[in-house]
Each structure stands twice: as structure tokens, then as C-alpha cells.
Structure 1
Amino acid sequence: KALAGEYLGLTGTRLDGAEMLVCGLATHFVPSERLSLLEEALCKVDSSDPAIISAVINEYSKQPYMKEKSAYHRLNVIDRCFSRRTVEEIISALERVALNKKDDWISKTIQSLKRASPTSLKISLRSIRQGRLQGVGQCLVREYRIACHVMQGKLSKDLFEGFRAILLDKDRNPKWEPSKLELVSDDMVDSYFSMMDDEDWEDLKLPARSNLPAYAIAKL
């Protein structure tokens, strides 16, 4: 759970094909050189039955190699550290592991967290954990509100500071505000999950999808 949630959400780590399969974010891995063949085969399928379609994809799929440096091999550390209650506790747990175990992966993970916007880290952690208890529809509404607040820039201008540091001045030295995790209060984080105080703003309204099967509607 932590690998696909807290760890990925807070560090922004990219997954390769093998890791996507392990996390359950992908069902098949098809090498790029076989994609055109798969496309031809799927075009010949005269059925919408998921089992039949999956069987066709299976013919062109393979089990990718899991790289030695993959975070998959650090699942015990990830689960132990990223299951902590707060971002501060997550970093402290990683630092304790680093004292007893020399591992470039741990050092890079700690550096990644310390370079990130403190506000963004706390928003992300709460959003990930709320999402575990919500359906897709609730998650989309929550993420929409967060995105609107971030883009508006009234609560924090960290997004624009990140653009400046990475894309404009390219000094890669953003000046986050607040600059430390302990300065980001729960009330500040709460604000990102609330409806915007703007008469021209509308909350996200998802269309009714009565044509979906019952199991899919339940997730919305």
C-alpha cells in the first residue's frame, strides 16, 4: 500500500513496467516492439467481454525484469517508514534507518522529501489517506478543490515558486513559504480541502452514469 500511495505521492518517484504490475496499477506489460501486433489482434476481436480481451493481451505480454535498484526491494523500509502519522515522522523514521544502513536509495528519498514544498507534502499525505476511504467520485471532487486552491495562489504561491525555480530562472533553489514542515499547521492544510470562497467558482459536479454496471457505480 505504501509503495503505491504515500511513498510515490510524497517523493514523485516514477515507476517502470515491472513496478506498475507489482503495485496493481497495470494488468499487463507488453514490450513496445509488440504493440503494433497487439493492436492488430485487438482490432480483430468481435467482443467486449473483458475475459476475451484480456486473453488476447496475454498472448503479447511478458513478465518484465525487476531492476536491482527498484524500490520494490525496499518494501519493508517503505512500509515501516511511510506508514507513520505525519510527514515529519516519516522523515525521522527514514533518517533512523539511514544511521544503521548505508543505502543510496534511502539518502535520495530523504533528500527528495526535504527539497519538496512542505505545504505540498502535507496536503498530499492527507489526500492520499482520505482517498483510501472514499470512492472515485469523492476523490475527484477533493482533488479538484485542492487544484483550484493551488492554482489560485491565495493560500500559498509555492506552485509558482516551483515554476520559477525549475522552468524560468532554473536555479533549482525554490524558496518555499512556509519554509519548514513544522510551520504548516493543520488549519492551513484544512483550507485546501474546503470549497473556495469565490462567487464565480463552482464545485465539481460529476454527471450521472446510470449506464454503468453496479460494481462501477458503487465506486463512484
Structure 2
Amino acid sequence: MSDSSVVFEERDAGNGRTVAFALLNAERALNSLSRAMIDSLQAQLDAWAKRDDIVCVVLHGAGEKAFCAGGDVIGLYKAMTATGDAPSADAEAFFAHEYRLDHTIHRYPKPVLCWGNGTVMGGGLGVMAGASHRVVTERSRIAMPEVTIGLFPDVGASWFLGRMPQRIGLFLGLTTTPMQPGDALWLGLADYRIVSSEREALFDTLTGLDWQGERNADDAVLARALRDFEDVEAANDARRESALFAHQQTIARLTDSATVAEFQARLAEQAEADAWFAHGAKAIAGASPLSLAVVHAQLARDPKLSIEDVFRRELAMAIACTRRPDFAEGIRALLVDKDKNPQWAPATLDEVAPEAVAAHFRLPDDYDRHPLGDL
């Protein structure tokens, strides 16, 4: 092991086969992704993809608290505030590189196992969502809290939130409601629930599997191994106990709203009757009005976009966010000064102009080509 923020390891699996491991090694920052970590992962995944001996890639995080708590938003804050009113090339490039990495995982030619233990938020869920074999544990807590800092659910969330039943994805994006392991299993964000203490035993087992060096066969080999470690009864219990499953009809009714303001009013009323909705009601009341309107437009649009088009559209949205004040202001209020008193612009939903929302869905005129046009 080393002090690197991403640690790569290759383990001999016999018969000329190798299992590769990538450890997010920024435990004090809950393994949040910096630009350096993103670029390091991209380069290594690209190299492993070309090697015939690599039969599986494992993604995991240092420590027990988090797989990955998202992107390095403090670094983004510094990049955005350093340029004053001018666009931040570094902030915009961060998102382009992050989304390229996520796309790489979605389209990876080998099985990718993601060990989603602990906190999995924002950019962490973007990494996990694209993996072919996604594991949650009893410690997993998953969320997309971006509207609280003036952003939107990105990293491919248009894809995975937009495909959830009963408009649950829209509900999660607007309310930042955290998901438990059973929620993730039921909604298809995770495939297996394995006890966290089994990690090393599972990882050791991977090198003794009958890998074939062929994608479909190796997907099945890995799936069988994961099922052997899974307590199926506990996983099924977790699915049945999903609060999102239990509340899906109410969520469908609440999100059947023409505007965010209508949804917020319905949610506030529902929170009075059912305390489970109180978190969402409080979160949406303090979120960026413009971000909320953008998310409503984002997740109400055609969910049948290809994953490539999803990332291209989300990059345009992210660039727009870096060029308006709410994103930096939200980070400042929540994570820098920590006064929890963001001064949003505009300050209310009533003041959000339709054109301001629409502007998020196209690249700025100063881009002559799309940074993700080659996906």
C-alpha cells in the first residue's frame, strides 16, 4: 500500500488471469473524488481494459465510513472563486473528466465489482451506478444531495433516477432523501447485499474463481461468487422493508405536480401527516430554487436518452452551474463557512425565469465542440 489517493493492486488469479483492485484512499475526506483521483482512475482503467489477463476490476474505498462521499466540492469552490465572475476552466474540466470516468465504467469491457460500503453520495453513486456488479452492506447509505449546494443530481443520475418507478427518482432528486440498502436493492441501484465484515474474504475468493477471460462467462462467474456470500433472506427482507417501496404510491401522487412549488406545498402537507417525509420537506425548503427548477426539468424530460447523451447533457448543465452564483454559494454556506444560510439567486421559486432553466440544457456559445462529443 502507499500514500497515493488511489491505490492500485493486481492479484494473481492463476492460469494467466489477474484480478485488479482500485482503492479510493482518501479516508479523511470520505474518499471524495479529486481531479487527480479521477484522472488516475481513468488512466488505470484504460490500461486494464486493454490487457487480456485482467478478468475483473474491483472498486472499493478506504475505511469503514464511506465508499465515496462525492466529488471534491471544496476544490471546485476554490476553482470557481479564484476566477471571480469569469468562467473557471478548471471547474468545468473537472466535470468533463468525472463524467468521462463514469461513462468508462458504464461501458467497461470487463466485469466491475463495486463494494459500496458506508456513505455513497453524489459522485460516489456515479461510480457505483455504472459497475456491472454492485454490492451494498448493512452500513450503506446512499443519497444525491446536490440541490442543497446549488447543483443538480449529475454523474448519470438522469439515467438511473429517470428510470425509477413512480417518479421516485424525481422525488429523490428534489428532496435529497437518503436511501437505505433495501431501497437501493429494490430500485436497482445495487445487486447484492453482503455483510461488511465479509469484504476481505470475498476479495480473497476472487483470485480462486474459474475465470474464463470472456465477458459473459466472467459476469456469471462473479455473480455466482457474490450470491455465495449474500444472505439472500436478509437481502429480501431489506427489499421488503424499503421505505421508498412502502411510500411509492404517495410519492407518485406528490410528484404528479406541474411545478416544483406545487410539489413543495404537497410535500409540506404530507410531512405533517407522515414524519417520514419531514427530511424531504426540510431539504427542499432550504435548497436552491433554480436548482430545484432545473432538476424538475431534467427528470421530467425523455428518460430514453443513451448513456452517452445523458453525460453530454449533464455536462452542459454542470458548466451552467459553475457559471452562476448558487453553486459556489451553496458550497460556502454548507461546507466552507458552515453558516447554513445560503443566499440563493434567485431567492424564491416564483423568481425563477424559464429561460434561466432552459439555459442549463445547452452548451455555452464559447464552446466550439462538446468535450464529451467522442463518447
Q: Same fold (TM over 0.5)?
A: yes
Contact 1:131 1:139 in 2 (8 A): no
Closer, same or farther: CA 20–70 of 1 in aligned 2, 3 Å: same
Matching residue's letter, 1:203: H
**Which position in structure 1 is the counterpart of 2:204?**
40
| TM-superposition CA deviations, 1:5-52 (whole Å, max 9, x none) | 111111222322211101111111111111222222222221341223
| TM-superposition CA deviations, 1:133-155 (whole Å, max 9, x none) | 3111110001001111111x2xx
**TM-score when normalising by structure 2:** 0.50
1:33 partner SS: helix
Give the counterpart of 2:316 among 145, 155, 170. 145
Q: 1:122 & 1:93 partners in 2: Cα distance?
A: 16
**Which position in structure 2 is the counterpart of 1:189?**
357
Give the counterpart of 2:226 among 57, 78, 82. 57
The gaps in structure 1 that reach 5 residues or longer are: 209-220
Contact 1:11 1:113 in 2 (8 A): yes
Give the counterpart of 2:249 among 56, 61, 76. 76
| TM-superposition CA deviations, 1:112-133 (whole Å, max 9, x none) | 1111000011111211232513
**Which position in structure 2 is the counterpart of 1:204?**
371
1:190 partner SS: helix
Give the counterpart of 1:15 among 171, 179, 186. 179
Q: 2:192 & 2:298 partners in 1: Cα distance?
A: 28
Compare the two structures and name the one with the higher strand fraction: 2
Matching residue's letter, 1:119: L
Contact 1:2 1:83 in 2 (8 A): no
Matched, 1:26 2:184: no
Matching residue's letter, 2:171: Y
Moved more, 68-77 or 17-26: 68-77
Q: 2:166 & 2:281 partners in 1: Cα distance?
A: 16
What does 1:44-193 align with in structure 2 at a 5 Å threshold?
A: 44-45=208-209, 46-47=211-212, 48=215, 49=217, 50-62=219-231, 63-64=234-235, 66=238, 70-98=243-271, 101=273, 103-130=274-301, 132-151=303-322, 153=323, 156-193=324-361
> Relative CO higher for 1 or 2, CA cutoff 8 Å, sep ≥ 6?
1
Matching residue's letter, 1:186: P
1:5 partner SS: helix
Compare the two structures and name the one with the higher helix fraction: 1
Closer, same or farther: CA 170–205 of 1 in aligned 2, 3 Å: closer
State the Cα distance separating 1:95 from its structure 2 match: 3.2
Q: 1:33 & 1:85 partners in 2: Cα distance?
A: 46
State the Cα distance separating 1:176 from its structure 2 match: 0.6
Q: Indicate the RMSD between aligned Cα atoms, in angstroms.
A: 2.3
Matching residue's letter, 2:207: C
Q: 1:122 & 1:187 partners in 2: Cα distance?
A: 11
State the Cα distance separating 1:198 from its structure 2 match: 1.5
Closer, same or farther: CA 164–18 of 1 in aligned 2, 3 Å: same
Q: 2:229 & 2:242 partners in 1: Cα distance?
A: 27
**TM-score when normalising by structure 1:** 0.82
Closer, same or farther: CA 2–117 of 1 in aligned 2, 3 Å: farther
The gaps in structure 2 that reach 5 residues or longer are: 1-164
Q: 1:131 & 1:39 partners in 2: Cα distance?
A: 39
Q: 2:371 & 2:262 partners in 1: Cα distance?
A: 33
Q: 1:202 & 1:194 partners in 2: Cα distance?
A: 12
Identity %: 25
Q: 1:170 & 1:119 partners in 2: Cα distance?
A: 21
Contact 2:182 2:242 in 1 (8 A): no
2:339 partner SS: coil
Q: 2:257 & 2:347 partners in 1: Cα distance?
A: 22
Closer, same or farther: CA 25–19 of 1 in aligned 2, 3 Å: same
Q: 2:345 & 2:269 partners in 1: Cα distance?
A: 27
**Which position in structure 1 is the counterpart of 2:84?**
none
